[in-house]
Amino acid sequence: MSYLVSGTASPSVSNEWYTFDRVINKDTCKKIINLAQDEAWGLLAKARIGQFSYWEDAVVLKNEKELEEDGKSPSLFLSHVDGKKKNYKPNHKERISEVFWTSEQWVYDLIWPFMMRANEEAGWRYIIEAGAECQLTRYREGSFFNFHRDGFGDHLSVYDTPNNEFINGRVRKLSMSVILNDDFEGGNFEFASYNKEKCIITPIKAKRGDVIVFPSAMEHRVTPITKGTRYSLVVWFVGPPFK
Ligand SMILES: O=C(O)CCC(=O)C(=O)O
């Protein structure tokens, strides 16, 4: 099966982010969305085959004050470590959405080359060693994700996950969002960058099948969904902290 649409669309490059237009075809987008199950099915699957995963409320991890108390930098840390939910609560001021976690190999095989190409051609050339668990995200009407950064790449941000060798001791360096549908209103993906004291907000006119890659320290958001449901696949690529 071919996952990719033929490479007619040329990527848009800046050294702040890198987008590939319409590179994941419709059937593959649907296949990714269909990986997620609602709670009843997740529980059934748990009873039958021991697996336990379903759409659940996304949480924004500890707020800056709590992280400071822990001596951590205020980046977003994983809400799940090895599929286990930590004791975090959803913060509805920062984010309303649902998430489903997956580590299907075919999904990594599909997206890895885009990360590699963006990393090279945007000139970041970060050392990337693995991908964290993939987050499938569902934003229903009223959902959003305020401006945030996924990570800072510093030594305070390293994952401390002895049970997960892929991310343990590593940091998020590149983030990726794969846009899985576009039959909704609102839900724009936007970056914030800074020129002197001016904040410049750049909306990315994303369509189904687009892939957006950016350094995890870039500020970004998803504006509120005003109609329909938005789906995305979000992956963080990790490596050693910056020196
Ligand atoms: O849904 C998206 O496209 C991006 C979500 C996001 O920013 C995140 O999960 O960190």
Over residues 107-161, the pLDDT tens digits come to: 999 999 999 999 999 999 999 999 999 999 999 999 999 999 999 999 988 988 8
Give dist(CA 224, CA 28) in Å, integer: 25
Instruction: Tell me the DSSP string of 50-113.
Output: S-----EE------HHHHHHHT--SSPPPSEETTEE-S----TTTEE-EEEEE--HHHHHHHHH
Over residues 73-98, the mean pLDDT reads 62
Given pLDDT bands bounded at 50, 70 and 90, which one contains residue 163? confident
Nearest CA to ligand 1 atom 7: 221
Domain-wise residue ranges, the chain: 12-46+97-239
Residue 46's pLDDT is 64
Nearest CA to ligand 1 atom 4: 177
Q: Whose CA is closest to 235, among 102, 38, 80?
A: 102
Q: Which atom of ligand 1 is nearest to the CA of 221?
A: 7
Give dist(CA 216, CA 84) in Å, integer: 23
- The two three-digit tokens of residue 230, written as one number: 């938005």
**How far, in Å, is the centroid of ligand 1 from the Cα of 129?**
21
Over residues 31-85, the pLDDT tens digits come to: 999 998 776 666 766 666 666 677 888 876 555 555 556 555 444 444 444 444 5
End-to-end Cα, the chain, rounded Å: 41
Q: Whose CA is closest to 17, among 202, 156, 199, 158?
A: 202
The residue with greater pLDDT, 78 or 221, is: 221
Residue 157's pLDDT is 87
Over residues 207-229, the mean pLDDT reads 97
**How far, in Å, is the centroid of ligand 1 from the Cα of 177?**
6
Over residues 197-213, the mean pLDDT reads 95
Q: Which CATH class is domain 12-46+97-239?
A: mainly beta
Q: Is 146 exposed, middle or buried (0-12, 13-18, 19+ CB in 10 A)?
A: middle
**How far, in Å, is the centroid of ligand 1 from the Cα of 47?**
31
User: Using a 6 Å CB cutoff, which residues line ligand 1?
Assistant: 135, 137, 145, 150, 177, 189, 220, 222, 232, 234
Given pLDDT bands bounded at 50, 70 and 90, which one contains residue 89? low
Give dist(CA 62, CA 70) in Å, integer: 10
Over residues 10-26, the pLDDT tens digits come to: 566 568 999 999 999 99
Which of 145, 175, 178 is the pocket-test mutation for ligand 1 (most atoms within 8 Å of CB)? 145
